[in-house]
Amino acid sequence: MENLEELAQQMRRYIDDPVAFVVNVLHAQPDKWQEDALRAIGKNSRVAIRSGHGVGKTAFEAWCVDWFLFTRPYPKIPCTAPTQQQLFDILWPEISKWLKRSPLLDGLFEWQKTKVTMRAMPERWFATARTASKPENMAGFHEEHLLFICDEASGIDDSIYETIEGALTTKDAKLILCGNPTKNSGVFKRAFYEDRDLYWTQKVSCFDAARVTDDYSQRLIKQYGEDSDVVRVRVLGEFPKAEPDGLIPLELVEAAMMRDASMEADPDVMLDVGADIARFGDDETIIVPRIGGKVLGLFHYTKQDTMTTCGKILSITKGMMAEYAKPHATLHIDDDGVGGGVTDRLREVVLEQGLNIDVVACHNGGAPGDKEHYANWVTEQWCGLKQRLVDGDISLPQDDELAAQLSTRKYLLNSRDQIILEDKKTFKKRIHRSPDRADALVLAFSSGGSVDTSLAQLLGGARFYG
Ligand SMILES: Nc1ncnc2c1ncn2[C@@H]1O[C@H](COP(=O)(O)OP(=O)(O)OP(=O)(O)O)[C@@H](O)[C@H]1O
Ligand SMILES: [Mg+2]
């Protein structure tokens, strides 16, 4: 009993003081902005934080989960994020990391894969992880002590927030929204503008955060400019502006990087692999495999000879075919310059080994299918990718460079009113690097080119077209 009374005292002590809880119980030292935000959630019902990458948002959210669990009787804490990876691989382990710092909390609570429960009454006292894939996932929570946590809040659909809103009825119901400000509409954006009277808000730039190295921020600024959307969203914590002559707005790219595209159920959808080839020098060789709308990875290498590159492309392709049980793959290779040698060697190996793989040689300057609207093949492919991003059926890996390259490539209209993509040389002059990651992605999603299928090779190596 004495122990219980002591425990109750501790719970009461920290009920309005999350800063002291974090310092004394979790043994963490919050950064200045984290301290302000903790104080704010102690006093307010809604807190929204937008920031650059890596400033410590998820740690802050994890502390809030632990604090609310410890200080309220029978609390419910639904936690959500746009993707399973964000929720289960990042936020959920972060909660465990801090919980285990305190022998007291570790003894009281059990951390499980999708829940953290009070050992003594697991049904009524818990935090739970729910993906933001459908509003029902956030339904059914009506408690006196309720804390909703939304990580990567820009990527969560408004329909999910509607459900959450419906549950925020009691005096001790709280809501925390944290994320990079990737989208210019929706609840997260409005929290800082139209609805800001409802929220305590904070903006955290990477420059205000001790734990982000200046190198990261400076590199992005040097390359893309302080006013570029990539720097605004990923370093400064500002919403994007959308470059007036940029072909693909960053907002579309960020949305795809926060999307869980479920793997195409259709067994007829095969593997496609795009490869942009570099040899020596600073440019990278990039290999991008995808199945349907889901990009499976972004492999990058520098300073490799073309034979090694062929080996890498084939081993990645064969590995993915085996892993996803795909009997056929299509390789889309940038055939200009050093890529030509890679295409030739790949075709040779495919033939020698009798692989069920087509090799497509792609020429950026080649003829587009739609000659009325596009000046060349590569412009048509970039526009095709943009359309798929607009349609929202693509999921991309989180990658700063890829986001930057996709969103900073410009376009023009030529004298024949055709769209023409800014050429590589001009891009390189402006940005000081090749748009290789974006180009490889575009290749992975490309159609057409000079098809030289294994069948064509068997028929005598004739190219079908191109
Ligand atoms: N005050 C702190 N003391 C010690 N470690 C911390 C602190 N704040 C954050 N961290 C650690 O720093 C790392 C990065 O923080 P975190 O993941 O919370 O950043 P983030 O803002 O969520 O990043 P992202 O923008 O990538 O989502 C994590 O390992 C986290 O545990
Ligand atoms: Mg985070």
CB 192 within 8 A of CB 46: no
The DSSP element (H or E) to which 285 belongs, if any, is strand 284-291
Q: Which atom of ligand 1 approaches the CA of 31 most closely? A: 1
Q: What is the mean pLDDT of residues 390-398?
A: 93
∠224-363-453 over CA atoms, to 5°?
130
186-201 per-position pLDDT tens digit: 999 999 998 998 999 9
Q: What contacts 375, CB < 8 A, 6 or more positions away?
A: 368, 414, 416, 418, 419, 420
Q: What is the mean pLDDT of residues 438-464?
A: 64
∠109-111-114 over CA atoms, to 5°?
130
The confidence score (pLDDT) of residue 459 equals 41
The confidence score (pLDDT) of residue 315 equals 98
CA distance 445 to 459: 27
What's the 182 CA to ligand 1 centre distance in angstroms? 19
Q: What is the mean pLDDT of residues 299-317?
A: 94
Measured from CB, residues less than 6 Å from any atom of ligand 1 are: 28-31, 34, 51, 53-59, 94, 180, 211
Helices H, strands E: what count in the chain? 19, 17
Q: Does residue 128 sit in helix, strand or coil?
A: strand
CB 230 within 8 A of CB 241: no
109-156 per-position pLDDT tens digit: 999 999 999 999 999 999 999 999 899 999 989 889 999 999 999 999
- Compute the mean pLDDT over every residue in the chain, rounded to the nearest whole number: 91
What's the token pair of residue 370?
Answer: 């739609």
What's the 74 CA to ligand 1 centre distance in angstroms? 28
- How far, in Å, are 52, 87, 157, 258, 343 from residue 132 at the CA level? 22, 9, 8, 11, 42
Residue 457 has pLDDT above 70, yes or no: no
What's the 104 CA to ligand 2 centre distance in angstroms? 26
407-424 per-position pLDDT tens digit: 999 999 998 889 999 999
Closest CA to 232 of 258, 206, 259, 199: 206
Closest CA to 9 of 100, 67, 71: 71
Q: Which ligand is nearest to the CA of 398?
A: 1
Ligand 1 atom 30, closest CA: 59
- Please report the domains of the chain, with CATH numbers, ordered by start residue: 2-208 (3.40.50.300), 254-458 (3.30.420.240)
What's the token pair of residue 461?
Answer: 């190596």
Q: Does residue 433 sit in helix, strand or coil?
A: coil
For a substitution probing ligand 1, which of 32, 85, 211 has the most ligand atoms within 8 Å of its CB? Answer: 211
CB 313 within 8 A of CB 275: yes
Which parts of 319-429 are beta strand (E)?
329-334, 357-362, 411-413, 419-421
Residue 21 has pLDDT above 50, yes or no: yes
Q: Which of 255-264, 291-300, 390-399, 427-436 has the lowest mean pLDDT?
A: 255-264
For a substitution probing ligand 1, which of 35, 51, 57 has the most ligand atoms within 8 Å of its CB? Answer: 57
Task: Report DSSP state, residue 86.
Answer: I
CA distance 269 to 281: 36
Q: Which atom of ligand 1 approaches the CA of 97 most closely? A: 31
What's the 86 CA to ligand 2 centre distance in angstroms? 8
Give the type of residue at 62: A
Q: What is the mean pLDDT of residues 170-188?
A: 95
Closest CA to 421 of 386, 463, 462: 386
CB 309 within 8 A of CB 333: no
Q: Which atom of ligand 1 approaches the CA of 94 most closely? A: 31
- How far, in Å, are 12, 88, 92, 111 from residue 96 at the CA level? 23, 11, 7, 6
Residue 451 has pLDDT above 60, yes or no: no
What's the 156 CA to ligand 2 centre distance in angstroms? 14
Ligand 1 atom 13, closest CA: 56
What's the 91 CA to ligand 2 centre distance in angstroms? 7
What's the 60 CA to ligand 1 centre distance in angstroms? 8
CA distance 261 to 281: 35
CA distance 274 to 330: 9
